[in-house]
Amino acid sequence: MARHTDKSTSRFREPPDPRFWRLNRSIEFDRHLAPYDVAQSRAHARALNRIGVIGDDEIAVIDDGLATVAAELEAGEFGFEPGDEDIHMAVERRLGGLIGELAGKLHTGRSRNDQVATDICMAVMDASESAGERIAGVMEELLRLAKEHRDWTMPGYTHLQRAQPVYLGHHILSWFWMLSRDFDRFAAARKAASVMPLGAGALAGVNWEIDRRAVASELGFESVTVNSLDSTSNRDMVLDYLSAGSICLTHLSRVGSELVIWSSTEFGFCQLSEPFTSGSSIMPQKQNPDSAELLRAKAPRVIGDFTTLLGVLHALPLTYGKDMQEDKEPFFDAVETVEASLEMTAGIFEGIEFDRDRLADAASDEMLAATEIADLLVRRGVPFREAHGIVGDLVRQCVEEGRDLSDLRPDELSARSSELDDEYYEVLKQGSWLESKRSEGGTSSASLDAQIKLAGERLQQISST
């Protein structure tokens, strides 16, 4: 294996030990940075040309050579060699093979330290934008479903116990707003990454008055870093992406868990489409919600990626240490997992079907109206805690005797409270349970209509960013 040095000038006389080289070599995973490395190399070459380090007759040769490298990488025809330590050295080696010693001028005014930091910032910007696009796709499906099921009743749950009835459209939009926050987190990660470190050199800056802001603008950055030490040691932008990814997949895991429960025979609230389910190797009747189960399982993987990088950076002295090479594997793994999970989520919702009768039947349990009876007493001047106790006694009696709340006779009601009269039976009519939730953000038809309008406006806002 080679060390890419000339023995007459190199600090080293011996090649690296294979046992060290196996861990030191990062080309197997940082090759994902190749398009960014070539793009910034082309921008850096033009910056060096503007200050006279690279001549006008040389810049075209270098740029054409880098264009060839980019084309080879994109076509999968780039030949990596055993001696390529990382993507930077691989690109530089190949460029030298194309244009000769002139390629050596390209490393003027930069270090692999600020070079890799710039590459990773560009990768985070693209990955964050890509995640946002996929989140928007899921949100569009959820809004469509919410509109289609705006008047379908179902039980809402706490502790996985029936609590109060809601409209299915209202529940679906709860997933929508979770993802809306995820979109903002990825947007923040992109913004954090849009500060260019190139020009910081190894740690102290460079000796050439390169127009960093011109390079930043050319590469799509919003600004440049202000401290060279911080520039090469910073990986906050990767942490920001991994944090956003961890929260997003945690949200998807909660959605997946509900879909697994709802699609069970015991619940029967929904059915996932066949392309997103699997059969059993031994039980012919099975249609398993494997896609939703995978959503549950992917969250810990990305959380693990996040904690891995936190552990790498913890107590690490400034500026650059080889430890920081460990930023890429968790990042690339998380990007792949986040994007695949969001794409699958969109697919699940494209073909999901809900069972209106099963949902309505579950929502018809009169016990779900217990809070409504308590509120009736409150409207008549009974303190809520006292009303809560009165209704609790009624519920206990019905449970013990196997009766519904509407089965209680007027004399049984009046024995508990003089404020319980015929209106008690009116309250137990199912339609009032949902429409009484008139507060902003509640599940009444009017509130849900307003929420659907807000969700549509949110998607328009996202599409314009």
44 counts as catalytic: no
CA distance linking residue 417 with residue 422, whole number of Å: 13
Phi and psi torsions of 404, nearest 5°: -90, 160
Q: How far is CA 267 from CA 63, 201, 302, 390, 459, in A?
A: 63, 61, 30, 31, 32
CA distance linking residue 257 with residue 157, whole number of Å: 13
pTM: 0.90
What mean pLDDT comes out for the span 162-171?
93
Please give the sequence-ordered ranges of beta strands (E in DSSP) within 45-100, or none if there are none: none
Confidence at 192, pLDDT banded by 50, 70, 90: very high
7 pLDDT exceeds 60? no
Tell me, what amino acid is at 51?
I
436 pLDDT exceeds 90? no
- Give the H or E element holding residue 158: strand 153-158
**326: closest CA among 70, 120, 42, 130?**
120
280 counts as catalytic: yes
Residue percentage of the chain with pLDDT more than 90: 75
Instruction: Identify the structural domains of the chain with CATH numbers, from first to last.
Output: 18-108 (1.10.275.10), 113-362 (1.20.200.10), 366-428 (1.10.40.30)
**458: closest CA among 174, 142, 180?**
180
How many C-beta atoms lie closer than 10 Å to residue 403's C-beta? 14
pLDDT given at position 282: 67
Q: Which residue has the higher pLDDT, 287 or 45?
A: 45
CA distance linking residue 308 with residue 301, whole number of Å: 10
pLDDT digits (tens, 9 = 90+) for 16-70: 888 887 787 787 888 899 999 999 999 999 999 999 999 999 999 999 999 999 9
pLDDT given at position 310: 97
Residue with tokens 């879909």: 259
**141: closest CA among 302, 286, 337, 276?**
276
Selected catalytic residue, list 280, 406, 418, 432: 280
CB 374 within 8 A of CB 384: yes
CA distance linking residue 207 with residue 48, whole number of Å: 12
Tell the burial category of 18 from Cβ atoms under 10 Å away from its Cβ (0-12, 13-18, 19+). Answer: exposed
pLDDT given at position 6: 44
DSSP-assigned beta bridge partners for residue 353: 271
pLDDT digits (tens, 9 = 90+) for 310-337: 999 999 999 999 999 999 999 999 999 9
Confidence at 5, pLDDT banded by 50, 70, 90: very low
Q: Is the peptide bond before 319 cis (omega within 30 degrees of 0)?
A: yes
CA distance linking residue 381 with residue 368, whole number of Å: 22
- Give the H or E element holding residue 407: none
CB 173 within 8 A of CB 138: no
Residue percentage of the chain with pLDDT more than 70: 95
